[in-house]
Homo-oligomer: A and B are copies of this chain.
């Protein structure tokens, strides 16, 4: 057991180094990139009706326009283009369809109380996207330029940003390898595109608490793999398990465990937080560390920053094993468990199914911290509390003078 831990730690440190390299790269300006000033816009002549804010299903509605930027190894980046949402023409041999050369991000924009639209920490996503692109052997770009293009897209489709503080605009930057040849090698052609669309709560349960299936026989990520990157490859293998969790176990999501000691890692669509009284009797907020097995979530980072600012209880990025968790639960030391992610925001957890037991989590008894995080984040996101994390979308100023209509 000591051996596996040592091994894990040493590889984790290694991965942390790799991840930091990625993030370091992401803070530098790449040698070449598309530019916002080259953006071309073609507007639709057939705008679609907007869905009812009360009946939004996550990921089912898209606005009228999307952003596309193409790249080839020979010619570099093309001009970014905003155009009507349409089916893409992809060669059946394209690397994205065979070898999963693809990555994505999830960002949200909100209609604030003053009526203006703002985006939540988009540059964090741009950094992670560049880091994932490097790991996927896809070309680098200037995150600031992409961010400007995305804001322009939002400004054009700003009527799609819901006027409801239960809803928001979900932004999905995606990056795929399009070279139309077989063979497991770097793609010499790529397409970056961004879809946006109004969303309601990620889980049909809304802010209602979820139950997670924690089955140690399935493993999401491994030291030496790519669990710290937002590659499509991390998701396909989870769908069958997720389907079983929902249909056979009555759970909403899977809590991925790792290693002999069943360390809690993450939920796939959200990072995990445990608020407990630790063995020393201290109040502690724990989330698993960025050890290469876990996606470095922007909401995760934000909650940690908020909690450290408050400085009211211990805040730890550390391993938490199921044994420690179950012991604390039995000793009534677990106060709250919740997930945090862009899609789900803050999602209370009321149960974990683990090794034949249904662990009942008392999160909703008070939900003091879960509610506090959720309310503060919502106050920031819907502009009730002005905050540096929110970046304005200039709905008028970012409109271009000349656009053509199709």
**B-binding residues in A (CB < 8 A):** 1-4, 7, 11, 14, 57-60, 62, 66, 85, 87-93, 96-102, 104, 134-137, 170, 172, 174, 176, 181-186, 193, 195, 202, 216-219, 222-226, 231-240, 242-243, 246, 260, 268-269
Contacts and interface: CB of A to CB of B under 8 A. Distances in A.
B96 A185 contact: no
Number of copies: 2
A219 B227 CA distance: 12
A62 B235 contact: no
Contacts of A4: 3-4, 7, 260
Contact of A90 (B90, B137, B218): B90
B222 A217 contact: no
B137 A11 contact: no
Contact of A240 (B93, B136, B268): B136
B226 A237 contact: yes
A181 B172 CA distance: 11
Contacts of A195: 92-93, 182
A232 B103 CA distance: 13
Nearest to A193: B92
Given A174-B92, A233-B232, A239 B102 contact: no
A99 B219 contact: no
Contacts of A90: 87-88, 90
Contact of A182 (B11, B58, B100, B225): B58
Contact of A232 (B136, B223, B236): B236
A181 B57 CA distance: 10
Contacts of A242: 184-185
B185 A239 contact: yes
27 contacts: A1-B3, A2-B3, A3-B3, A4-B7, A11-B217, A14-B217, A57-B181, A88-B91, A92-B195, A96-B97, A99-B232, A99-B235, A100-B231, A102-B236, A136-B239, A136-B240, A137-B239, A137-B243, A172-B182, A184-B235, A185-B246, A186-B239, A186-B243, A216-B224, A217-B224, A231-B236, A232-B236
A225 to B, nearest CB: 6
B260 A3 contact: yes
B236 A99 contact: yes
